[in-house]
Chains A and B, each alone.
Chain A
Amino acid sequence: MNGDFATTGLIFKEALLWEKGKKGRTAFSMPAADVPPAKELPEALQGEGPDFPDLSELEVVRHYTRLSQWNYGVDSGMYPLGSCTMKYNPKIHEKLAALPGFASAHPLLPESLSQGALQLMFELQEMLKAVTGLDAASLQPAAGAHGELCGMMLFDAWFRSQGEKRDRILIPDTAHGTNPASAALCGMKPVALASGEDGILHPEAVAALMDDRTAGIMITNPNTLGLFESHFAEIAAIVHAKGGLVYCDGANMNAVMGYVDMKRMGVDVMHFNLHKTFSTPHGGGGPGAGPVCVVEKLAPFLPVPRVVKREGGYALETEAPLSIGRLHAFYGNFGVLLKAWAYIRSLGPELKRVSEMAVLNANYIRASLKDFYDIAQDRVCMHECVFSDKNLKSFGVSTLDVAKRLIDLGFHPPTVYFPLVVAGAMMVEPTETESVEELDRFIEAMKRIRKEAEESPDLLHEAPQRTRVRRLDETAAARTPCLCGGM
């Protein structure tokens, strides 16, 4: 490795908003009062207004510019955060979402004056159906976990329509962390399902737990070990034979587009994370979008309204007696849906190539690092691979230390300590948008850290040293929470 990839730049300190400014300043261009003042409200309805700091325009601009410089994003460098699919976010999407016809559109405009937005939503539904092979879609859920919740509500509504109430759900140990909480919100008790030695689920284990009290199964496929659940179709058949339903957490869809047919595989409901697979920026914690696709028999239960195509144009269908109802005011995160539409239209059938290159990149990292770090499953993986700190412990070095040292070398760390089935896990998802040269740099950095772990472990313990702040005291933050400033 030829020197370091990161240096300490000119990083400014910056106060909190309310530590700045002076009463009487403003950064807002207040419209002139062109109407007479109205009668004051009755005294009981008059408040004092919030205690916000008064700042000038430049003060606000500098504040957020400085804050932004303390952040690492995909545009800064490689962001191999496993199961988060941090691929490049095309810049054109921001421009498209800001078109005034969309950005300033009121959601309750009549259908005749909203045809563009409705057409876009209808086409996105159709394209999601084409990618999955499933029969119907709803774009309403606002994030992946919201999609999971929607899926569990669909399960519940289906069983009610059959005159049944099933209160158990099978969730593998390699599923995403939100799955049990989503099921619990629908009054279902998650039943833990262990994956096999080979990191995937086996039909016998499912058959042993599946019964007619169990609503079905929630499988993340590819799973959080980066492995394809090869027995999915047999497992789905077992669940269906007991009258259950099959949910697929599609957060890892980036691995299998153009290869997998969700319907053939036996999936009844799945969700997408548009902010992962279809490259809408994650925004430091959202907004995302978590559309769900379903098989025909569950279509009547999808949230309302649904966008439909009728003679003469696109319309919002609200009449659906079996529907679970509304999940979101209006129609969901339209501005996010628009970016996903643009991404899919930019790639079309080349989405298959996206998955191929994502899987190739992950395997390249796996093959390059497996002799340096303990690997959870030493075989061909999908879009991500999972290493651990097993052979670093003797040096007194942990996964956390490796992650923090990567920061000093100019990379965002992988997902750490997840999945829980691997102690000290490091889950690496490079995505397809990284070039082989960038992967080589990451691999070199990881090898260097492996060497440092043996020779100078304190470099790892003391990392990161080049960031604006060093390791933070998370225990104190939780023990005596300070969640609101200036009190």
Chain B
Amino acid sequence: MRYLPHTPEDVSAMLERVGLPSVEALFEALPDACRRETPMDLPAPLTEWDLIIRMESLAASMAAGSGNRVFMGAGSYSHYIPALIPQLLGRSEFTTAYTPYQPEVSQGTLQAIFEYQTLTARLLGMEVANASMYDGASALAEGLLMAIRLGKGRKKVALSQAIHPHYREVVQTYFAPTEFEVLTLPVDPATGRTDFSGLEGMDDLAALAVQSPNFFGCIEDLQSAVSLSHGAKALLVAAFTEPLAFGLLPSPGSQGADIVCGEGQSLGIPQSFGGPGLGMFACRMAHVRNMPGRVVGQTKDMNGERGFVLTLSTREQHIRREKATSNICSNQGLCATASAMYMATLGGTGIRKLAALNRDKAAYLKKALEGLGFTPLFTSPVFNEFTLKAAQGFGRIREKLMEKGMVAGLGLEGLYPEMPEMKEAFLFCATETASREDMDALVEAIRGELL
């Protein structure tokens, strides 16, 4: 086996040094009660060449890659990834390093993460960002737990129903074993924004969480959310699934959000069937000692040279043990590095242009679909996703188009069984990867089926 360098002579010589007669003797500490009775039932080893053939055949069964047009976002977005990113990210000095516990031989990772934290803080309009969380959903759950820690005994959090359904489920999972309670604020059926009127009846709130643009693509009124939340002495946790929107929209921090967390997959990370992505997490400096996750700080070496280290570790599990702000250890470091590369590649000028292009593409597709008799479900402005009430029988047409490699939006009925208006509602997405030609082809294909 090419990964194992030991020759039979090596093994004998090494056993001699160790003073044991056989390899099996190394395992004498294992009592019978702990041992396997049969060998592991695993398939026979594949050569590198057979492995490629096998994997290519599995990949070929996926409706992804060239020839497929997916007009669906919902927390996972198709964006161009510049060739320099996989190339640089694949440098094995980045990929085959561990968490930077020895800073002198990890300055590459450490500076890259410090830069990631800085660009993230600028994107979200916040004072400090951590080195990453697992994904947007767990980042939101940990953001809410952080708000509870800061809430001095307040035991409830309120979530907008327009937050990604998976994210809300993950929050429920994290909160289930605790004594804390998760409340829900409904969606205004006209605007598609969160209906805050129920807030008045909720006391003991540590946090209010709102996603913008929300799951339906609607841009929320974050400023109002902040003032209502602060009025109730609760922190405003701003979630997101599409950070590219902040190229055009005011950042959540500039609107007064206290904790900002979400998914960074859009920033140079492949969709990869939903992971690995990037949990982005930012807060105010005043709250930093309650922030979960790893964080890199700037310092100096003994010669006065600038350098970087993991810092504020007194918040973390290896020192605070059960009193830690989180149990997170390995995070999504390489994905954070990818997103920093992406933000640097776009630049301030580029992100505005690209965000505007996303808005324009979505507006074009929306208008074209409306021309087919689809009607907007909500009145709020949108970024690159929008919800439409479909023409009669569209569900069947959508199935048919899939056979041609076109995925026409995501049906919302199954995700929101509690909302009758979601019957026949579909969430569409168009990013810069959707050419006018592709969008026209989709619209024509639907028109052809509708006739």
A53 within 8 A of partner (CB): yes
Name B10-66 residues within 8 Å CB distance of A.
10-11, 13-15, 17-20, 23, 25-31, 33-37, 39-46, 48, 51-52, 54-66
Shortest 8 CB-CB contacts between residues of A and residues of B: A330-B274, A285-B333, A101-B59, A283-B334, A107-B274, A100-B65, A38-B363, A73-B96
Say whether, besides A31-B80, A329-B164, A284 and B350 are in contact (CB < 8 Å): no
Name the residue among A39, A265, A286, A328 with the largest chain B CB count within 10 angstroms: A286
Question: Which of chain B's residues has its CB closest to A113's CB?
Answer: B63
Residue-wise interface mask of A (112-125) relative to B, using a CB-CB cutoff of 8 A (1 in contact, 0 not): 11111101100000
A207 within 8 A of partner (CB): no
A79 within 8 A of partner (CB): yes
A288:B330 contact, CB within 8 angstroms: yes
B4:A79 contact, CB within 8 angstroms: no
Residues of A near B61 (CB, < 8 A) are: 101, 115-116, 119
Instruction: Please give the distance in Å from A242's CB to the nearest CB on chain B.
Output: 19
Residues of B near A44 (CB, < 8 A) are: 221, 223, 250
B37:A49 contact, CB within 8 angstroms: no
B392 within 8 A of partner (CB): no
- A sample of 13 inter-chain contacts (CB < 8 A) reads A39-B363, A57-B345, A84-B98, A149-B327, A227-B29, A345-B51, A346-B45, A346-B48, A349-B44, A432-B6, A436-B10, A436-B13, A485-B114
B376 within 8 A of partner (CB): no
B345:A28 contact, CB within 8 angstroms: yes
Once bound together, how far apart are the Cα atoms of A53 and B40, in whole Å?
Answer: 54
B29:A345 contact, CB within 8 angstroms: no
Once bound together, how far apart are the Cα atoms of A190 and B323, in whole Å?
Answer: 10
Residue-wise interface mask of B (395-406) relative to A, using a CB-CB cutoff of 8 A (1 in contact, 0 not): 000000010000
A2 within 8 A of partner (CB): no
Say whether, besides A116-B60, A380-B28, A281 and B42 are in contact (CB < 8 Å): no
Question: Which of chain B's residues has its CB closest to A28's CB?
Answer: B350
A335:B272 contact, CB within 8 angstroms: yes
B17:A367 contact, CB within 8 angstroms: yes
B249 within 8 A of partner (CB): yes
A468:B107 contact, CB within 8 angstroms: yes
Q: Pick the interface stretch among B184-192, B196-204, B298-306.
A: B298-306
A483:B297 contact, CB within 8 angstroms: yes
Instruction: Please give the distance in Å from B97's CB to the nearest CB on chain A.
Output: 4
A177:B321 contact, CB within 8 angstroms: yes
Instruction: Please give the distance in Å from A354's CB to the nearest CB on chain B.
Output: 7
Once bound together, how far apart are the Cα atoms of A80 and B259, in whole Å?
Answer: 38
Question: Which of chain A's residues has its CB closest to B41's CB?
Answer: A130
Question: Which of chain B's residues has its CB closest to A64's CB?
Answer: B88
B40:A45 contact, CB within 8 angstroms: no
B131 within 8 A of partner (CB): yes
Name B75-101 residues within 8 Å CB distance of A.
75-76, 78, 80, 82, 84, 86, 88, 90-101
B128:A484 contact, CB within 8 angstroms: yes
Residues of B near A281 (CB, < 8 A) are: 92, 95-96, 334
Say whether, besides A333-B276, A353-B1, A359-B26, A145 and B328 are in contact (CB < 8 Å): yes
Name the residue among A81, A88, A107, A156 with the largest chain B CB count within 10 angstroms: A107
Say whether, besides A97-B272, A100-B65, A143 and B36 are in contact (CB < 8 Å): no
B378 within 8 A of partner (CB): no
A98 within 8 A of partner (CB): yes
Name the residue among B100, B174, B254 with the largest chain A CB count within 10 angstroms: B174
Residues of B near A295 (CB, < 8 A) are: none
Say whether, besides A52-B344, A477-B298, A478-B314, A79 and B108 are in contact (CB < 8 Å): no
Question: Which of chain A's residues has its CB closest to B24's CB?
Answer: A356
B208 within 8 A of partner (CB): no
B161 within 8 A of partner (CB): no
A372 within 8 A of partner (CB): no
A331:B323 contact, CB within 8 angstroms: no
Say whether, besides A60-B341, A152-B177, A334 and B64 are in contact (CB < 8 Å): no
B407:A33 contact, CB within 8 angstroms: no
